[in-house]
Chain A
Amino acid sequence: MPHENEKNDLELIRNFLKDRIGPAQTEKIVPEATLTDLGIDSLMQVELLFEFEDKTGISVPTDIPPPKTVGELLQQLKEIRSRQAIK
């Protein structure tokens, strides 16, 4: 199940960014990719977190540090999920 969530989160990121950075770029959205290289700015990151909240119903804290890579972002989403599960 955790692996399933991680896969879903990566898919959510890819789907969301398809329109933002162009469909041709979505293949480059892999855990090692840096957000800067993908053209994802800080506002786009917030949009993405809002999308995560809307799709999963899990609320994202406002004080999470800005991730540098897609992998870091996935890890943050995983931690947010697990905290939610504990509650």
Chain B
Amino acid sequence: MKRHRVAITGLGLINPYGEGDVADFFSRIMRGESAIRYHTLGNSPRPLALPLVACSHFNPIETLGPPLANAMDRFSHFAVASALSAWQDSGLAKPANRDDYGVSWGTGSGGSLTIERGYQTLYFENKEKVSPLSVVLAMNNSAASHIAIQLGLGGPCVTSTVACASSSIAIGDAFRLIREGRINLMLAGGSEAPLSYGVIRAWQAMRVLSDGDEATAYRATRPFSKNRSGLTLAEGAAALVIENWDHARARGARIYAEIVGYGNTCDRTHIARPDSAGQSRAIVAALQDGGLHPDEIDYVNAHGTSTVEGDAIEIQSIKSVFGGHAGKLAVSSTKSMHGHSLGAAGAMEALITALALYRQAAPPTANVTEIGADCAGVDHVLGLGRSNVPIRAALSNSFAFGGSNAVLAFRSVAAQE
């Protein structure tokens, strides 16, 4: 089967820092600026305040207009807004009305806000009925469908729900469809709106959330550090326009990076505890799929959630695959700044990795003063990002609860020309 090359030609996101565009987002990431703040949750039966990344500035009514905004859950608001932004960035006409274009979207818990609201209505307000839109608001595939409707994309419209690997898998599957020549273009990415009382309490019960107060919240996520203490929940979305290379070239599109490989494995060991063997197999699979030698990789955007166990296992996996090259391999976890947006995290980090290749700049891990002994052995980019560094190829890791691992491999366009 002929393999088609796959280009990334459009990027969009809900910027966790505020109103700025993708360039503003990336410059803040390069400066090591954290978007994590101490938030008090509204509408909760008991007081609840913790470090979070909340996109409070995002106004769905203003961005999407009342008819559309009122017909969607928050995770779909994020999805459509980020997709429209990526579409505009790619220079494509709207609506496309093309059946050779599709959508591949990721979300971990979809319309959990709608579900929680429904339970409140039935159990606490003692009403007999919920909104007739409840099903179409809450279903996980509603975000993808709304994107397809808004942009006129008539090809496959699929949704991946694989916890924290959801949107990496959505991008990986979109990449495969284009590489196999089954479709010309996919709008791929992910969105998550998990900041509800019930969802946060569930994550707290797992004892994986980092603590903090007004003064310290910004450094709640400290991946790979000696004193790391857990992750920070985030809401948001990122979208990428992924396109057949020749199709992109023919229309004169800007190409941020090439997607060349995708590895997808399951640990098959434990529902929550990560496993180095499973992760390593995913990294190797992505390298082989992309025809990449380990020495060609100059940057890894790690999953790096800042949990004690998870970070150490990921570094162990990287070292086992890269061997002697690991010490020269720039590694960072940008979750230290944008938090962990669960099903959207893979897309957000794929966006960052594409920009790292396009700008030849390695983003940092923020908030770390001392690397943990169990996370040593790679070239950690700490504090500030490194500009003007040669990045020939890069990986983005996503390792999910359930033991599902997804690794995306990218090549720099500049390095090839």
Contact = CB atoms under 8 A, between A and B. Distances in A.
A and B assemble together? yes
Interface of A: 18-23, 39, 43, 46-47, 50
B133 A43 contact: yes
A18 B133 CA distance: 17
B67 A39 contact: yes
A50 B134 CA distance: 13
For the residues of B in contact with A, the DSSP-based class is loop
Contacts of B133: 43, 47
Contacts of B67: 19-22, 39
A43 B132 contact: yes
Interface in B38-93: 65-67, 70-71
B129 A50 contact: yes
B195 interface: no
A47 B129 CA distance: 11
Interface of B: 65-67, 70-71, 129, 131-133, 136
22 contacts: A18-B66, A19-B66, A19-B67, A19-B70, A20-B66, A20-B67, A20-B70, A20-B71, A21-B67, A22-B65, A22-B66, A22-B67, A23-B66, A39-B67, A43-B133, A43-B136, A46-B132, A47-B132, A47-B133, A50-B129, A50-B131, A50-B132
Given A19-B70, A20-B70, A47 B131 contact: yes
A24 to B, nearest CB: 11
Contacts of A20: 66-67, 70-71
Closest 9 CB pairs of A and B: A46-B132, A19-B66, A43-B132, A19-B70, A47-B132, A21-B67, A20-B67, A43-B133, A20-B70
Contacts of A46: 132
Nearest to B136: A43
A7 B129 CA distance: 27
B114 to A, nearest CB: 14
Nearest to B71: A20
A50 B66 CA distance: 19
Given A19-B70, A22-B65, A43-B136, 14 more contacts: A19-B66, A19-B67, A20-B70, A20-B71, A22-B66, A23-B66, A39-B67, A43-B132, A43-B133, A46-B132, A47-B131, A47-B132, A47-B133, A50-B132
Contacts of A18: 66
Contacts of A21: 67
A49 B67 CA distance: 18
Contacts of A22: 65-67
Contacts of A50: 129, 131-132
A27 to B, nearest CB: 16
A86 to B, nearest CB: 23
A39 B67 CA distance: 10
A46 B398 CA distance: 42
A20 B67 CA distance: 4
A71 B59 CA distance: 35
A21 B65 CA distance: 9
Residue with the highest number of chain A CB atoms closer than 10 Å, among B67, B129, B136: B67
Contacts of A19: 66-67, 70
A21 B67 CA distance: 5
A50 B131 CA distance: 8
Contacts of A23: 66
Contacts of B65: 22
Contacts of B70: 19-20
A22 B71 CA distance: 13
B130 to A, nearest CB: 9
Nearest to B135: A43
Contacts of B66: 18-20, 22-23
A1 to B, nearest CB: 28
A23 B131 CA distance: 22
B131 to A, nearest CB: 7
Contacts of B129: 50
B20 to A, nearest CB: 28
A39 B70 CA distance: 14
Nearest to A42: B132
A78 B230 CA distance: 59
A23 B65 CA distance: 11
A50 B128 CA distance: 11
B56 to A, nearest CB: 21
